[in-house]
Protein backbone atom coordinates (compact mmCIF):
# COMPACT_ATOMS: atom_id res chain seq x y z
CA UNK A 1 0.00 0.00 0.00
CA UNK A 2 1.40 3.40 -0.90
CA UNK A 3 1.94 6.07 1.73
CA UNK A 4 -0.91 8.19 0.30
CA UNK A 5 -3.25 5.17 0.30
CA UNK A 6 -2.35 4.40 3.93
CA UNK A 7 -3.00 8.05 4.84
CA UNK A 8 -6.40 7.85 3.17
CA UNK A 9 -7.25 4.61 5.01
CA UNK A 10 -6.33 6.17 8.35
CA UNK A 11 -8.29 9.33 7.53
CA UNK A 12 -11.36 7.30 6.58
CA UNK A 13 -11.16 5.28 9.80
CA UNK A 14 -10.98 8.51 11.81
CA UNK A 15 -14.01 9.79 9.92
CA UNK A 16 -15.93 6.59 10.63
CA UNK A 17 -15.16 6.80 14.35
CA UNK A 18 -15.73 10.55 14.52
CA UNK A 19 -12.18 11.45 15.41
CA UNK A 20 -10.61 14.80 14.65
CA UNK A 21 -13.67 16.36 12.96
CA UNK A 22 -15.77 16.19 16.10
CA UNK A 23 -16.18 14.27 19.32
CA UNK A 24 -15.71 10.53 18.85
CA UNK A 25 -19.09 8.89 18.31
CA UNK A 26 -18.64 6.44 21.18
CA UNK A 27 -17.93 9.33 23.58
CA UNK A 28 -21.02 11.24 22.47
CA UNK A 29 -23.25 8.23 23.18
CA UNK A 30 -21.60 6.51 26.15
CA UNK A 31 -23.37 8.30 29.00
CA UNK A 32 -26.85 8.66 27.49
CA UNK A 33 -29.39 6.60 29.41
CA UNK A 34 -32.51 5.14 27.86
CA UNK A 35 -34.81 7.78 29.35
CA UNK A 36 -32.78 10.69 27.96
CA UNK A 37 -32.50 8.90 24.59
CA UNK A 38 -36.30 8.78 24.34
CA UNK A 39 -37.07 12.38 25.30
CA UNK A 40 -38.90 14.46 22.74
CA UNK A 41 -38.34 18.20 22.25
CA UNK A 42 -41.02 20.43 20.72
CA UNK A 43 -40.07 21.31 17.17
CA UNK A 44 -37.63 18.44 16.75
CA UNK A 45 -39.19 15.50 14.91
CA UNK A 46 -37.20 12.72 16.58
CA UNK A 47 -35.50 11.60 19.76
CA UNK A 48 -31.88 10.52 20.17
CA UNK A 49 -33.15 6.92 20.17
CA UNK A 50 -34.86 7.45 16.82
CA UNK A 51 -31.76 9.13 15.40
CA UNK A 52 -29.54 6.23 16.41
CA UNK A 53 -31.99 3.64 15.05
CA UNK A 54 -32.09 5.58 11.75
CA UNK A 55 -28.28 5.69 11.66
CA UNK A 56 -28.22 1.92 12.25
CA UNK A 57 -30.73 1.31 9.47
CA UNK A 58 -28.55 3.00 6.85
CA UNK A 59 -25.25 1.82 8.27
CA UNK A 60 -26.46 -1.78 8.14
CA UNK A 61 -27.84 -1.19 4.63
CA UNK A 62 -24.50 0.14 3.39
CA UNK A 63 -22.51 -2.59 5.16
CA UNK A 64 -24.61 -5.21 3.35
CA UNK A 65 -23.65 -3.57 0.05
CA UNK A 66 -20.00 -3.79 1.06
CA UNK A 67 -20.52 -7.53 1.71
CA UNK A 68 -21.78 -8.13 -1.82
CA UNK A 69 -25.49 -7.99 -1.08
CA UNK A 70 -28.08 -5.72 -2.62
CA UNK A 71 -30.62 -4.84 0.04
CA UNK A 72 -33.92 -3.43 -1.14
CA UNK A 73 -34.29 0.31 -0.81
CA UNK A 74 -37.28 1.37 1.23
CA UNK A 75 -40.20 2.78 -0.75
CA UNK A 76 -39.87 5.98 1.27
CA UNK A 77 -37.15 7.30 3.57
CA UNK A 78 -39.66 7.44 6.46
CA UNK A 79 -39.40 3.64 6.57
CA UNK A 80 -35.85 4.06 7.87
CA UNK A 81 -37.13 5.86 10.98
CA UNK A 82 -38.63 3.93 13.90
CA UNK A 83 -42.16 4.74 15.01
CA UNK A 84 -41.48 4.44 18.71
CA UNK A 85 -39.44 7.24 20.26
CA UNK A 86 -37.69 5.29 22.98
CA UNK A 87 -36.22 1.99 24.06
CA UNK A 88 -38.20 -0.02 26.58
CA UNK A 89 -35.28 -0.42 28.98
CA UNK A 90 -31.68 0.50 29.65
CA UNK A 91 -30.64 -2.97 28.46
CA UNK A 92 -32.39 -2.49 25.12
CA UNK A 93 -30.80 0.96 24.73
CA UNK A 94 -27.35 -0.46 25.47
CA UNK A 95 -27.90 -3.16 22.83
CA UNK A 96 -28.83 -0.44 20.31
CA UNK A 97 -25.64 1.50 21.07
CA UNK A 98 -23.52 -1.67 20.88
CA UNK A 99 -25.08 -2.69 17.55
CA UNK A 100 -24.29 0.73 16.14
CA UNK A 101 -20.70 0.82 17.44
CA UNK A 102 -20.07 -2.73 16.19
CA UNK A 103 -21.17 -1.57 12.74
CA UNK A 104 -18.73 1.34 12.93
CA UNK A 105 -15.93 -1.08 13.79
CA UNK A 106 -17.02 -3.43 11.00
CA UNK A 107 -16.73 -0.52 8.57
CA UNK A 108 -13.25 0.26 9.95
CA UNK A 109 -12.19 -3.37 9.46
CA UNK A 110 -13.46 -3.31 5.87
CA UNK A 111 -11.55 -0.08 5.33
CA UNK A 112 -8.32 -1.73 6.49
CA UNK A 113 -8.74 -5.04 4.65
CA UNK A 114 -10.15 -4.21 1.24
CA UNK A 115 -9.16 -2.49 -1.96
CA UNK A 116 -11.03 0.76 -1.54
CA UNK A 117 -10.93 1.60 -5.24
CA UNK A 118 -12.76 -1.60 -6.19
CA UNK A 119 -16.39 -1.27 -7.24
CA UNK A 120 -19.12 -2.95 -5.26
CA UNK A 121 -20.37 -6.24 -6.66
CA UNK A 122 -24.02 -5.18 -6.87
CA UNK A 123 -23.34 -1.46 -7.47
CA UNK A 124 -20.53 -1.39 -10.07
CA UNK A 125 -20.64 2.41 -10.39
CA UNK A 126 -19.81 2.84 -6.66
CA UNK A 127 -16.42 2.13 -5.11
CA UNK A 128 -15.92 0.62 -1.69
CA UNK A 129 -14.37 3.91 -0.55
CA UNK A 130 -17.46 5.85 -1.64
CA UNK A 131 -19.74 3.51 0.28
CA UNK A 132 -17.60 3.77 3.41
CA UNK A 133 -17.50 7.56 3.07
CA UNK A 134 -21.29 7.54 2.90
CA UNK A 135 -21.41 5.71 6.23
CA UNK A 136 -19.02 8.22 7.79
CA UNK A 137 -20.81 11.30 6.48
CA UNK A 138 -24.31 10.06 7.32
CA UNK A 139 -23.27 9.17 10.85
CA UNK A 140 -21.45 12.48 11.27
CA UNK A 141 -24.47 14.45 10.10
CA UNK A 142 -26.80 12.78 12.57
CA UNK A 143 -24.25 12.79 15.39
CA UNK A 144 -24.38 16.58 15.15
CA UNK A 145 -28.12 16.37 15.74
CA UNK A 146 -27.56 14.11 18.76
CA UNK A 147 -25.21 16.73 20.21
CA UNK A 148 -27.71 19.55 19.63
CA UNK A 149 -30.51 17.55 21.26
CA UNK A 150 -28.23 16.78 24.22
CA UNK A 151 -27.50 20.49 24.56
CA UNK A 152 -31.19 21.36 24.46
CA UNK A 153 -31.86 18.74 27.11
CA UNK A 154 -29.06 20.10 29.32
CA UNK A 155 -27.00 16.93 28.97
CA UNK A 156 -23.82 18.25 27.42
CA UNK A 157 -20.89 17.69 27.56
CA UNK A 158 -20.41 13.99 28.22
CA UNK A 159 -17.93 12.95 30.94
CA UNK A 160 -15.19 12.61 28.30
CA UNK A 161 -15.63 16.30 27.44
CA UNK A 162 -16.91 18.01 24.36
CA UNK A 163 -15.91 21.04 22.38
CA UNK A 164 -17.21 23.56 22.80
CA UNK A 165 -18.51 22.71 26.24
CATH number for the domain that contains residue 48: 1.20.120.450
For residue 157, tell me if it sits in a domain: no
For residue 159, tell me if it sits in a domain: no
Structure confidence at residue 160 as a pLDDT band (50, 70, 90): confident
For residue 160, tell me if it sits in a domain: no
For residue 40, tell me if it sits in a domain: yes
- What is the reported pLDDT for 164? 59
142 a known binding residue? yes
pLDDT, average across residues 102-126: 96
pLDDT of residue 165 exceeding 90, the answer is no
For residue 162, tell me if it sits in a domain: no
pLDDT of residue 117 exceeding 60, the answer is yes
How many separate domains does the chain show?
1
99 a known binding residue? no
For residue 163, tell me if it sits in a domain: no
**Cβ atoms within 10 Å, residue 100:** 19
CB 52 within 8 A of CB 96: yes
pTM for the structure as a whole: 0.94
Q: Pick the closest to residue 49 from 59, 34, 63, 68 (CA basis).
A: 34
**CA-to-CA distance for 92 and 58, rounded, in angstroms?**
19
Angle at 68 between CA 66 and CA 72, to 5 degrees: 90
For residue 161, tell me if it sits in a domain: no
pLDDT of residue 2 exceeding 90, the answer is no
Q: Which residues contact 65 (CB under 8 A, 6 or more apart)?
A: 71, 120, 122, 123, 126, 131
- What are the residue ranges of helices labelled H in the chain? 3-17, 25-29, 34-37, 48-66, 90-113, 128-152
**Cβ atoms within 10 Å, residue 111:** 24
**Cβ atoms within 10 Å, residue 65:** 19
Classify residue 79 by its DSSP letter: G
For residue 68, tell me if it sits in a domain: yes
pLDDT by residue (tens digit) across 14-50?
Answer: 999 998 778 899 999 999 999 999 999 999 999 999 9
pLDDT, average across residues 56-67: 97
**CA-to-CA distance for 58 and 101, rounded, in angstroms?**
13
131 a known binding residue? no
By residue range, what is the domain housing residue 113?
Answer: 3-152
Amino acid sequence: MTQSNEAFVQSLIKSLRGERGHIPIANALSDIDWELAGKQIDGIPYSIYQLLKHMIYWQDFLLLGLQGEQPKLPAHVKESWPDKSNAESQDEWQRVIQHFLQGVEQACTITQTTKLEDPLEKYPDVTRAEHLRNIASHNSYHLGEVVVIRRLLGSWPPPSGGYPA
